[in-house]
Amino acid sequence: MSAIASAFKSPFKNIFAEFTEQSAAFTDSFGLLFQMLRRLPNFQSWRWTEIFQSVVHMGVGSLPIIVISTAVAGTVVTHEIAWHMDEALHSVSMIPGFSGQFIFRELGIAIPAMLLVAKVGAATTAEVGTMKITEQIDALKLLGIDPLSYLVFPRFIAAIISSSCLTFISVSVTMGCALAVAVYSYGFTTLEFINAFKHFVGIKDVACALVKGIVFGAVIPIISCAYGFRCKGGAEGVGTATTNSVVAATSTIITLDFILTYLFTFFL
C-alpha cells in the first residue's frame, strides 16, 4: 500500500514550489511580450533570412498534419451539425450558415492552434531549453548579442506569419470539406450552399479568424520561449519545461479564445 500512499502524497509535496514556478513563468511571458512589442517598430533589426527559414520550418513543416486534421474535423463537425439541426428543427437547410460560422469563428482556428502548440511550441521550448542548459545563451550574452532579438524575435514574427496563413488554409480546407459533405450526404447543390453561406458569413467572421490566428500565433513562441529560458537542471529540466509549456500554451489559447469570442460576439 505504501506505493499508493506515496502516489497520493507526491503531487502535493511541491505544490507551493510549482505554483511559484508557474506564476513566475507567467510573469516572464508578459515581460517577453513587452520586449517583443518594443522591438517591433525597429525594422532594421528584423533578420529576414532567419524569419523566412522559421516560416518554412514552422508553417510548411506543419502544413500536412494541419490539412489532414482539419479536413477530418470539418467532415465530422458538419455531420454533427446536420444531426443536431435535424433533431432540433427537423430540417437540414441551415447547414451552410451554421457550419460556416462555427468553422470561421471557432473550429478552423482552434484546432490548427492546438496542433501548432504541440508541433512548434514544444520544439521551440526544447530547443531554447537545450541552449539554456548547455550555456549557449550565456555564450551569446558574452559575445554582446541580445538573445531576445537573436532567438526569440524571429520566431515571434515567423509564428505570427505562419499561424495567420495556416489559419486561412485550414479554414478553407474545413469549409471545402463541409461543402463536400453537404453536397454528397445532404443533397445540397454547390451554388445553393455558397449562397446560403454568403448570407451568414461576412467580413466580420473573416476578421475574427484573422485576429484569432494572429493572437494565437503570437502566444505560442512567447510562452514556449519563456519556459525555455527558465529551464534548469539538465536534460530532465528540458523535459519538464516542455511539458509545462505545452500545457500553459494550450490553456492560454483556450482562455484567449474565450475572451476573443466574447469580444467579437458582444462588441463587434
Q: Binding marks (x or -) toward another protein, 135..174, rule CB under 8 A?
A: ----------------------------------------
Considering only CA atoms, give the Rg of the chain.
22
* Closest by CA position to 219, among listed 4, 16, 15, 36: 36
HSE, side-chain direction, 13 A CA sphere, residue 37: 9
> What's the per-residue H, E or C state across 171-212?
HHHHHHHHHHHHHHHHCCCHHHHHHHHHHHCCHHHHHHHHHH
* Closest by CA position to 36, among listed 154, 212, 142, 211: 154
From the list 114-122, 140-148, 156-164, 210-218, the region that binds another protein by CB under 8 A is: 114-122
6 contributes a contact to another protein by CB under 8 A: yes
Reading the block at residue 145, the C-alpha cell is 548579442
Of 27, 190, 195, 265, the one binding another protein (CB under 8 A) is: 265
HSE, side-chain direction, 13 A CA sphere, residue 60: 6
Reading the block at residue 111, the C-alpha cell is 484546432
Q: Binding marks (x or -) toward another protein, 207..236, rule CB under 8 A?
A: ---------------------------xxx
Minimum distance, C-beta of residue 45 to another protein, in the bound complex (Å): 29
Q: What single DSSP character describes residue 90?
A: S
Minimum distance, C-beta of residue 243 to another protein, in the bound complex (Å): 4
Reading the block at residue 258, the C-alpha cell is 474565450
Of 35, 47, 51, 130, the one binding another protein (CB under 8 A) is: 130
Residues that bind another protein (CB under 8 A): 1, 3-4, 6-8, 10-12, 64-65, 68-69, 72-73, 75-77, 79-80, 83-84, 87-89, 94, 97-98, 101-102, 105-106, 110-111, 114-115, 117-119, 122-123, 126-127, 129-130, 200, 234-236, 238-240, 242-243, 246-247, 250-251, 254-255, 257-258, 261-262, 265-266
